Amino acid sequence: MPITADFHLHSSFSGDSDTPMEEMILRGIELGLTQMCFTEHNDLDYPAGEDGPSDIFELNADAYLYELLKLREKYADRIEILFGVELGLQPHLTRQNAAFVKEHDYDFVIASSHVCHGQDPYYPSFYEGRAQEAAYREYFESILENLRSYSNFDVYGHLDYVVRYGPDRDEGYSYEVYRDIFDKILHRLIDIEKGIELNTAGLAKGLREPNPCIGVLKRYRELGGEIVTIGSDAHRPAQIAYAFDRAAEILKDCGFRYYATFAKRSPSFHKL
């Protein structure tokens, strides 16, 4: 396996996982990973819904770090465990998110868009009463709004997360359809020297391509982007490092020769 670092992982410290962190680590060791970075969710002002209250994704970072440090020491001779967070961005949360990140010395910060103008595209209500393309476009435009208001992160996660959940999912979807807004997003990321991730969870969920799609990855490289981390977005052991061999081939086909990892917010590059 050419990629031996999974940099998007969740455990029971995230509101949508009940897997003990140690179980995730043991599976990573079985798979031959050399690095695992936990990126537990912190989504402030998440809309309350049928799956839980509005604080379901508010992270207890102290408890999370305490457990991670214990397990980092326990398995130090077998794997490197990194301390990350997946930060849910919304423009009105800029100050709160900035303060949250400063409270601990994270190795890695993923910025993600899980909430678009008060709704999570995970739920069907986000698409009701309009064409799928309009819903997707609103989601992508909200990413640009976030990028104009917040920049203390390392990579932007699963840029086309919305495609996992639309009525027709990735049917009729491509970079070219949304080229105008994607190019603004990618130019902005490159201007502020931030990376993106190749997230394989879309493949695990039956999409034809990862998140973001291959067209977006190619365009990021064409524009001069170089920082790409690889993450499975696993919430349970069976999902760890999913389709990483395919991810490596996709990156090579898009013109990348390296993938990135982070420690103490600083990137390192590894040959594919």
Report pLDDT digits (tens) over 190-236: 999 999 999 999 999 999 999 999 999 999 999 999 999 999 999 99
Q: 81 near 261, Cβ under 8 Å? A: no
Q: Mean pLDDT across the stretch 113-130?
A: 96
- For 106-123, what is the mean pLDDT? 96
Q: What percent of the chain has pLDDT over 90?
A: 96
How far apart CA 119 and CA 139 sit, in angstroms, is 10
Residue 251 has pLDDT above 80, yes or no: yes
* Mean pLDDT, residues 73-100: 98
Yes or no: say if 171 and 133 are a contact pair by the CB < 8 Å rule. Answer: no
Contact 153, 112 (CB under 8 A): no
Residue 54 pLDDT greater than 70, yes or no: yes
pLDDT of residue 48: 79
Residues facing 84 on adjacent strands? 39, 108
Q: Structural domains in the chain?
A: 5-271 (3.20.20.140)
pLDDT value, residue 202: 95
Per-residue H/E/C for the chain: CCCCEEEEECCCCCCCCCCCHHHHHHHHHHHCCCEEEEEEEECCCCCCECCECCCCCCCCHHHHHHHHHHHHHHCCCCCEEEEEEEEECCHHHHHHHHHHHHCCCCCEEEEECCCECCECCCCHHHHCCCCHHHHHHHHHHHHHHHHHHCCCCCEECCCCHHHHCCCCCCCCCCCHHHHHHHHHHHHHHHHCCCEEEEECHHHHCCCCCCECCHHHHHHHHHCCCCCEEEECCECCHHHCCCCHHHHHHHHHHCCCCEEEEEECCEEEEEEC
What digits encode the pLDDT tens for the residues 6-24? 999 999 999 999 999 999 9
Q: Name which of 1-5, 100-104, 177-181, 188-192 the model is least confident about.
A: 1-5
pLDDT of res. 50: 58
